[in-house]
């Protein structure tokens, strides 16, 4: 019985010594590991800042010179920018992304605002909308053969900035929907902001859409 007790005490003593040894090792080397980590972080921080600054310079060099427009279709915003400075932020409406299929054929249209780089090709006052085929199909109407039957006044506002391929920055009758993705691909703007864009954005201005 005494022998069993002695063996048990011996095992407990050995375990105690092992734990003490581990604690001593960690207290001595744990600080060294922490210090080495801090040193590594201290060394890497300036390097990361240098890389970040270099990336910012590269991005800045890619920006168009002078005034340009950035259209964010996710946030439904136009940003008037000059270099890396934002001069004005405008709430707009961009493409809905919905799809319309022609029940009489194989055609379909995706109502999305095109991404990429464009430019203001033409500026118009009192623009007249030339309704494309999809505008009639969407309303369940027959597509007219007479070109004049496609013309509709008063729906695009007082001004328009033509971006080519039928896409424009223009006015809207539905100002309550600004800030939402509801258009057929064009960019709708409120009257006051549209007038300011028309007055200050010349033909040839770069337009970046994403």
Q: Is the pLDDT of residue 133 over 90?
A: yes
| Sole residue written with tokens 């992304």 | 97
Q: Are strands 77-82 and 99-101 parallel, antiparallel or unpaired?
A: unpaired
Q: Where are the domains of the chain?
A: 1-62, 67-209
* Separation CA 67–CA 55 (nearest Å): 22
How many other CB atoms are there within 10 angstroms of residue 94's CB atom? 26
* Separation CA 60–CA 62 (nearest Å): 5
User: By C-alpha distance, which of 146, 172, 149 is closest to 93?
Assistant: 172
pLDDT at 105 (0 to 100): 83
Which is the CATH superfamily of the domain at 67-209? L,D-transpeptidase catalytic domain-like (2.40.440.10)
Q: Is 77 exposed, middle or buried (CB count within 10 Å of its CB: 0-12, 13-18, 19+)?
A: middle
Give per-residue pLDDT as tens, 150-165: 999 999 999 999 999 9
Q: Contact at 8 Å (CB) between 116 and 197?
A: no
Q: Is the pLDDT of residue 30 over 50?
A: no
Q: Is the pLDDT of residue 2 over 50?
A: no
Q: Identify the weakest region by mean pLDDT among 24-33, 151-160, 200-209.
A: 24-33
Mean pLDDT of all residues in 120-135: 97
Give per-residue pLDDT as tens, 68-121: 999 999 999 999 999 999 999 999 999 999 999 999 888 999 999 999 999 999
The three-state secondary structure class of 69 is: strand
Mean pLDDT of all residues in 35-57: 59
Positions marked catalytic? 170, 186
pLDDT at 163 (0 to 100): 98
* Separation CA 124–CA 203 (nearest Å): 11
User: By C-alpha distance, which of 184, 136, 125, 193 is closest to 160?
Assistant: 125
């Amino acid at each position: 019985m005494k022998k069993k007790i002695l063996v048990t005490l011996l095992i407990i003593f050995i375990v105690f010594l092992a734990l003490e040894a581990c604690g001593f090792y960690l207290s001595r080397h744990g600080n060294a590991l922490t210090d080495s980590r801090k040193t590594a972080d201290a060394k890497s921080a300036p390097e990361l800042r240098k890389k970040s600054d270099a990336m910012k310079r590269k991005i800045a060099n890619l920006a168009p010179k002078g005034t340009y427009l950035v259209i964010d279709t996710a946030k439904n915003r136009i940003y008037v920018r000059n270099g890396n400075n934002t001069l004005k932020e405008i709430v707009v409406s961009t493409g809905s992304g919905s799809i319309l299929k022609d029940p009489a054929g194989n055609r379909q249209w995706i109502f999305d605002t095109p991404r990429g780089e464009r430019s203001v090709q033409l500026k118009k006052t009192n623009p007249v909308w030339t309704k494309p085929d999809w505008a009639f199909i969407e309303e369940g109407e027959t597509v007219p053969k007479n070109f004049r039957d496609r013309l509709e006044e008063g729906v695009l506002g007082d001004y328009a900035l033509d971006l080519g391929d039928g896409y424009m920055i223009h006015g809207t009758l539905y100002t309550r929907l600004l800030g939402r993705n509801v258009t057929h691909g064009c960019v709708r703007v409120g009257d006051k902001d549209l007038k300011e864009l028309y007055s200050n954005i010349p033909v040839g201005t770069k337009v970046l859409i994403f």
